[in-house]
Amino acid sequence: MAKELTYTEAYEQLQEIVSKMENADISVDELSDNIKKATQLIKICKDKLTKTEAEVNKTIAELEA
């Protein structure tokens, strides 16, 4: 993943992988690669959510001060 994905892009790609796995539209050979990619996508989403939460909490704290 050369370009940094947005949360929405990462989430959509993750949904595609999950959908393929649920519908058995993925071969055993592709499974390992897709699980690795899904792990990376989950990390991207988690990191973006954590950063956003910190920014929101900081803004709320500034407003309450």
Nearest of 4, 7, 2 to residue 52 by alpha carbon: 7
Residue range(s) defining the domain that contains residue 52: 7-64
Say if residue 1's pLDDT is above 70. no
- Answer yes or no: is 18 within a domain: yes
DSSP letter string, 12-58: HHHHHHHHHHHTT-S-HHHHHHHHHHHHHHHHHHHHHHHHHHHHHHH
Q: What is the pLDDT, as a whole number, of residue 2? A: 58
- Answer yes or no: is 2 within a domain: no
Provide the domain count of the chain: 1
pTM: 0.81
Using one digit for the tens of pLDDT, what is the confidence trace for 19-59?
988 888 788 888 889 999 999 999 999 999 999 999 999 99
Say if residue 5's pLDDT is above 90. yes
